[in-house]
Structure 1
């Protein structure tokens, strides 16, 4: 019996050390060496303090800030510990009511806008934590943000233009704007004026 158990324990111990200790240490070391920012959460710092991540949306609700996509996480919005969509289909009454309510709120907050509301301002992403909005959504909000900050709309629009992220690898996805980065730049612009 000892002849059978001893090799099994040696193999178990060796594989545990290899896959449970050596492999994670090597991959973590490589990630830290090659992609340190991404390996540490893609954090955005302001005055030496982390204020958020480029990868997780935040709840901006003030008139003076650009708003991101609605969040589908619960029990609170933009809860990174509870990522996930609502799982409501496009014909579900609760989903239709939520989108209609979001459209009404967006229209009320942007009385100067008469065109269609960009879809990403009224629907949540699959993760419920999307940190980015479309360029159209950012432009849609320029007048409201400029008025709330008492800034020229042209200056706020230029700020949006400066924060457009192009397609990934030049061909995947669509141009977009990271809401947290844009709002931090907006705070800096307001301090300069």
Structure 2
């Protein structure tokens, strides 16, 4: 079973509406192909249960990545970046954790160790240009998130990385996206 669906089935509260601020810069290389970079921020929460210490934590982070877009012709005159597209991307995510209940460590500190993740995504969507320079983007994205492990981690850090990785799989599993962009040239 897809890990994020498994996470949802274990706890239906993992299905939430999350918003994220993002920006993309894409360079069209041909009538059907473009490459680009994207950056975004993220903010969500997760629950923990470690050695009978139960609480919640805030996950905030930043992501940067690269992508390739393939555009397809539906009717005469469709050229990139107009019309249906597929996009393949890979991102590096850096996150920071804050213990909202102060229960994870016995000394009740609220700042938890930060970490890194990677994300591979596939997006299907369509784009339309209106008012000459504005672009409306409607798309659906599926993604897989993995942990960048470090051998020097303590058991607590491994548990947090596993919990965050599971939450991020749910966060990125299936996303509907609506975007407005600007054509620069």
Same fold judged by TM-score > 0.5? no
| Alignment TM-score, normalising by the size of structure 1 | 0.20
Higher helix share: 1
| Larger Rg over CA atoms | 1
| Alignment TM-score, normalising by the size of structure 2 | 0.20
